[in-house]
A and B are shown apart, each in its own frame.
Chain A
């Protein structure tokens, strides 16, 4: 690419990113008053409705991923997606970008999510999230109980154990809630490691600061493990949760998330697709 082309591509990606941000916001409102109520009305049964709405979420998020890909904003690759489709699993992922949840949900026809309280007060979005059976981000104990209950009903649940987006260049700061949920429900844990190269859409990075080139999202789904593996006879659950959290950390941490582009990121960096350390 000549430097002229590169510049043109950069400007294009800023415009396209701005457009998809607006599309996402407006689209969310529009489908909240059209597609989701329509899906809700297809059945009397709230559980059937929940599944149809979640399927709708997957469709919408997949369309959104494809829009960004076609616009040349990003490329993405998912390894082991079939493991995300097993029911009753606690899916734990690191959280490098704003769109991790979009990529994850786009791969899962059915998954419960934890949604922040603000959305439950939003006049448009509160209905779809409650029809979808999503969980409200409540205080510690209560949320652990609700999450464990949904897993025991056989639903899969998506959790970002960091509780917020990762800080680029720093080790993950895991909270132990996810480990407590897994232990309470004794549900299989499925670790997912996401990398974004070059880093973008991380915490505090405004949308218009697009990376020097189209970014690549890589998602590697690991093998499920039962929390029972981590339990020891007579041990306080708080200690087991600490060990389990360390294990999750080792599975999710991409070896220190890359710092925001120091110089022109090179294709041969350790992050290049295909060079990922694969979780086994």
Chain B
């Protein structure tokens, strides 16, 4: 199962669903500028769950370092876009 995204908006919409399902975060709080830890209360253990879910959604092999510097929702969108822009291996 892998999904493809045409725009950042699509990625954001998908993220809203994922984050509210996984962590019960209100979708309106999920904006590009939101800080994962400070604003959305996603801790390092949650980050592992999020990472695994994104792996499933994109169907790509994600290297953990791709998410090492991720701090905000925007960073997550960037990381997903970088991943899905490469041809699937």
Using a CB–CB cutoff of 8 Å, the interface residues on chain A facing chain B are 139-141, 144, 175-177, 180, 236-239, 241-242
Contacts and interface: CB of A to CB of B under 8 A. Distances in A.
A141 B22 contact: no
Nearest to A180: B45
21 contacts: A139-B44, A140-B44, A140-B45, A140-B48, A144-B45, A176-B43, A176-B45, A177-B45, A180-B45, A236-B23, A236-B49, A237-B49, A238-B22, A238-B23, A238-B45, A239-B22, A239-B23, A239-B24, A241-B45, A242-B23, A242-B24
Interface of B: 21-24, 43-46, 48-49
Contacts of B43: 140, 175-177
SS class, residues of chain A in contact with chain B: helix
A148 to B, nearest CB: 12
Contacts of B48: 140-141
Nearest to B46: A238
A180 B43 CA distance: 12
A237 B22 CA distance: 8
B63 to A, nearest CB: 17
A139 B22 CA distance: 22
Given A140-B43, A176-B43, A239-B24, 9 more contacts: A139-B44, A140-B48, A141-B45, A176-B46, A177-B45, A180-B45, A236-B22, A236-B23, A238-B23
Contacts of A177: 43, 45
A236 B49 CA distance: 9
Closest 10 CB pairs of A and B: A140-B44, A140-B45, A238-B49, A236-B22, A238-B46, A238-B23, A239-B24, A180-B45, A238-B22, A141-B48
Contacts of B45: 140-141, 144, 176-177, 180, 238, 241
